[in-house]
Amino acid sequence: MSTNEVQTLRLAVCLFNNVSILDFQGSIEQIEFLHPKTVFPARFGSKIVIEPVYIGPTREPVKTCSGPSLLPTKAYDDVGAEEQFDILLVPGGPEASTSPDVMSPSVIEF
């Protein structure tokens, strides 16, 4: 990578029913400060862009434990074996702290 080249990292935000928005939204807000077009990186020379992809059990809206429903970018089953993510963000929620048999099988397989 040259010194002027911007590096793009892919971030998978793993959504599931009853996910806690608070567990990932603050992180996403902070990650945006790394983008070269924001004030801080432009001043300090950031060369990183993080591209979030919101993945859910289906492409249907995901019900959160409080607040609005979320519309995933893609479903877990849509992610091919060749598709890679640099960062996985798995937020919490009531179902995340229980046994895996309560979670959607597509989340576990992913």
The rounded distance, in Å, linking the Cα atoms of 87 and 107 is 16
The domain of 74 spans 7-109
| 69 contacts: CB under 8 Å, gap ≥ 6 | 61, 62, 63
> Hey, is 27 helix, strand or coil?
helix
75-109 pLDDT tens trace: 999 998 899 999 999 888 776 655 667 677 777 77
16-54 pLDDT tens trace: 888 888 888 888 888 877 766 665 555 666 677 888 999
Report the CATH number at residue 21: 3.40.50.880
Looking at the domain assignment, is residue 41 inside a domain? yes
Query: What is the number of domains present in the chain?
Result: 1
